[in-house]
Amino acid sequence: MTSLKTLRIDSPLGPITLAASQRGLCGLWFENQKHGPSDVDKQNWQTDAQHPLLQSAAAQLQAYFANEPVVFDLALDLSAGTPFQQSVWQALLGIPSGQTRSYGDLARHLGKAQAMRAVGAAVGRNPVSLIVPCHRILGAAGQLTGYAGGLWRKQALLQLEGHPIAGRISSPLFPE
């Protein structure tokens, strides 16, 4: 990744790093998230707490975590992925809050019914987690499956959005 502007914010689910290119928001990673940027990637990044897009993203995330109605309306730059990954990430943007889809549903939507594993791999590599809602993808039977930010975060995000996930968890969003 080239020189990006970044901002680190706190959230109820742990620190988040936001990254913006000249084209738009290109990164949203929870601390210790799988498939996040490498230390080499980060070498040319510049912290910019006044960057307008990063400030807007931070404000919208703050509202989201406060359980206020939010429609993320940020310019996105998903160009770091392959054309196939980009098509998966674009499809994720069409899943409304409070709803979920299976990997198979997503693969069929893309016209690639036999490509469930490839779809799953692309979902896992989503660089703008939460805003590009990869947490809304479940297993075929509706079970929680992998999430680069951790399954506990995935469950907390779905609960925040009102999805009827069985069982309660203890998290900063839902303390016992």
Q: Give the contacts of 94 (CB within 8 A, at least 6 positions apart).
A: none
Say what angle helices 116-124 and 83-92 make with each other, to 10 degrees: 80
Q: What are phi and psi of 80, to 5 degrees?
A: -75, -15
Structure-token pair, residue 51: 């960057």
CA 62 to CA 70: how far, in whole Å? 10
Catalytic residue list: 134
Task: Judge whether 61 and 16 are in contact, CB under 8 Å.
Answer: yes
| Burial annotation 28-64 (CB, 10 A radius, 16+ → b, else e) | bbbeebeebbeeeeeeebeeeeebebbebbbebbeeb
